[in-house]
Amino acid sequence: MDHSRAPVLEALQDFRRRGDVVFGPPGHKQGRGVDPRVAEVVGLDVFRSDVLTLNGLDDRRESQGVLDRAQELMADAVGADRAFFSTCGSSLSVKTAMLAVAGPGEKLLLSRNAHKSVIAGVVVNGVEPVWVHPKFDAERHMAHPPEPDDVRRKLEEHPDAKGMLLITPTEGGTCADVAGVAEVCHAYGVPLIVDEAWGAHLPFHPDLPVWGIDAGADLVVTSVHKMGGAIEQSSVFHLQYDRVSPEVLKQREDLLGTTSASSLVYATLDGWRRQMVERGRELLDGAMHRAARIRKTVSELPGIAVMGHDEIVGAGLAADLDPLKVVMDVRGLGVSGMQAAEWLRTERRVDVGGSDTCRISASITHADDDETERVLVDALRALVDGAEGMERRPRVRLPEPPALELEQARLPRDAFFGEAEHVAAKDAVGRIAAETISPYPPGVPVVAPGEVINAEVVEYLRSGVEHGMLIPDAADPSLETFRVVARHR
């Protein structure tokens, strides 16, 4: 296929060249009606590029196949049979993928280190989750992807399960043995869905961890805005084999997706694919060398421990590690990752990609250059010097890994939509959660609807909030109260 072409971008150029005057959405009419104060901040070209596909980039019948041709090029670029663009982010794409494999009342294997969007998908479509617990790293207080044997045991226990959803890479860059899990799933005749939100770049360089499609996954969802070059909400479904019907996937996407898809998302997805096919190996090669330099320099700073391949893959904790995710444990500085992130933003105007109780992380992409590398390294040096002057906040009481494996006492959908009540934190122990509670980032729920809350989790979450942890999805973000399934007296 001719990867020098970019059908969406070309259609947008043609639209501008023709000078079409539009009497339908969007109401700003390609920027004519935009408040100049808005245009001054975001730029007029954003609005000039905001054009409907239907009777805009394409004609009323979509006979030019603008979007279809762009999606065919994407599939060819990454070795998939089919590709579908989504403008609602992978949070919605994952829900769609789940709906395409399992329906209400059916079982689906799910990695328990899943993003909150997966839990939301369970609630929305009413599947019965079969949790496959991740490999907990007690030293780092991290969850790494489950292994093929973990999946095999669950499929033996639940032979009626319809498929498996695997999350890899994690936000920390640790990767699953996708090929091994795919082999297990296929031996049981079920598809493997991979939530590869952090892995859109993986198909474009041989020295990066294996790409889900190449490893035998049936359906892979990527968030191109995370590590790629498209704007926020850019997501792609990648499909191969016949275990997941493309017709069913398209219908489920139509059920959940927007009817007002953004041409900005389509255009940047199209352009990013062309860039990666033409220059991806060269650009990613440069990014990996840059990340390696940053790792080496930062690892020599006192108080910061950089997570590396030997400590993770060599220790058998994960199958691989994305070298572009620089994960740094800052506990040696006497502060939490949350404090470090706040200090870096306030004092150095550096916004790290992730932070939690123990660490901060920086995503290095093809967009970084010598200047951003210098800014990051200088800021981390300053952090080492400035850590001693930071306030000492209350300690977050981290639970032992087994305490995080909560009992699933009720279907998440039933618990979420059922009658609920609020109880004080001390009275939540032993009660069934009626809400999702996810420290953010990374947005992995500590508590999901239908799970029995234990004392260790309450202590962890409450101490986390006191320290400064963000809990955006709890009914009471202060966690002075918990939303639980009501008891009838």
Torsions phi, psi of 151, nearest 5? Answer: -70, -40
> How far is Cα 215 from Cα 77, in angstroms, rounded to an integer?
16
> How far is Cα 355 from Cα 370, in angstroms, rounded to an integer?
24
Interstrand relation of 107-111 and 128-132 (parallel, antiparallel or unpaired): parallel
CB-CB neighbours of 45 under 10 Å: 11
Q: For residue 26, is the peptide bond before it cis, meaning its omega torsion is within 30 degrees of 0?
A: yes
pLDDT at 489: 60
> How far is Cα 431 from Cα 482, in angstroms, rounded to an integer?
9
pLDDT at 410: 95
pLDDT at 61: 87
Q: Which CATH number fits domain 401-485: 2.30.40.10, 3.40.190.10, 3.10.20.30, 3.90.100.10?
A: 3.90.100.10
User: Domain 276-389 class?
Assistant: alpha beta
> How far is Cα 315 from Cα 301, in angstroms, rounded to an integer?
23
Torsions phi, psi of 327, nearest 5? Answer: -105, 125
Domain ranges of the chain: 8-59, 60-274, 276-389, 401-485
Q: Which pTM was predicted? A: 0.94
Kindly state the tokens that stand for 221.
């969802």
Exposed e or buried b for every residue in 447-486, given b needs 16+ CB within 10 A?
bbbbbbbbebbbbbbbbbbebbbebebbeeeebebbbbbe
Contact 322, 284 (CB under 8 A): no
108 CB-contact burial (10 Å; exposed 0-12 / middle 13-18 / buried 19+): buried
Interstrand relation of 359-363 and 325-329 (parallel, antiparallel or unpaired): antiparallel
Kindly state the tokens that stand for 412.
């998440």
**pLDDT tens per residue across all 489 residues of the chain:** 999 999 999 999 999 999 999 989 999 999 999 999 999 999 999 999 999 998 889 888 888 899 999 999 999 999 999 999 998 888 889 999 999 999 999 999 999 988 898 999 999 989 999 999 999 998 899 999 999 999 999 999 999 999 999 999 999 999 999 999 999 999 999 999 999 999 999 999 999 999 999 999 999 999 999 999 999 999 999 999 999 999 999 999 988 888 888 899 999 999 999 999 999 999 999 999 999 999 999 999 999 999 999 999 999 999 999 999 999 999 999 999 999 999 999 999 999 999 999 999 999 999 999 999 999 999 999 999 999 999 888 889 998 888 999 999 999 999 999 999 999 999 999 999 999 999 987 788 999 999 999 999 999 999 999 999 999 999 999 999 999 999 876
pLDDT at 259: 82
Place of tokens 């390609």: 30
> How far is Cα 305 from Cα 324, in angstroms, rounded to an integer?
16
Sign of torsion over alpha carbons 67, 199, 464, 345 = negative
3-state SS track over the chain: CCCCCCHHHHHHHHHHHHCCCCCCCCCCCCCCCCCHHHHHHHCHHHHHCCCCHHHHHCCCCCCCCHHHHHHHHHHHHHCCCEEEEECCHHHHHHHHHHHHHCCCCCEEEEECCCCHHHHHHHHHHCCEEEEECCEEECCCCEEECCCHHHHHHHHHHCCCCCCEEEECCCCCCEECCHHHHHHHHHHCCCCEEEECCCCCCHHHCCCCCCCCCCCCCCEEEEEHHHHCCCCCCCEEEEECCCCCCHHHHHHHHHHHCCCCCCHHHHHHHHHHHHHHHHHHHHHHHHHHHHHHHHHHHHHCCCCCEECCHHHHCCCCCCCEECCCEEEEECHHHCCCHHHHHHHHHHHHCCCCCEECCCEEEEECCCCCCHHHHHHHHHHHHHHHHHHHHCCCCCCCCCCCHHHHCCCECCCHHHHHHCCEEEEEHHHCCCCEECCCECCECCCCCCECCCEECCHHHHHHHHHHHHHCCECCCCCCCCCCEEEEECCCC
CATH number for the region 60-274 comes to: 3.40.640.10
Exposed e or buried b for every residue in 325-351, given b needs 16+ CB within 10 A?
bbbbbbbebebbbbbbbebbeeebebe
Give the orientation angle of helix 370-386 with respect to helix 337-348, to 10 degrees.
120
Sign of torsion over alpha carbons 226, 230, 231, 234 = negative
> How far is Cα 449 from Cα 439, in angstroms, rounded to an integer?
15
Closest CA to 458 of 442, 440, 474: 474
Closest CA to 295 of 311, 272, 283, 314: 311
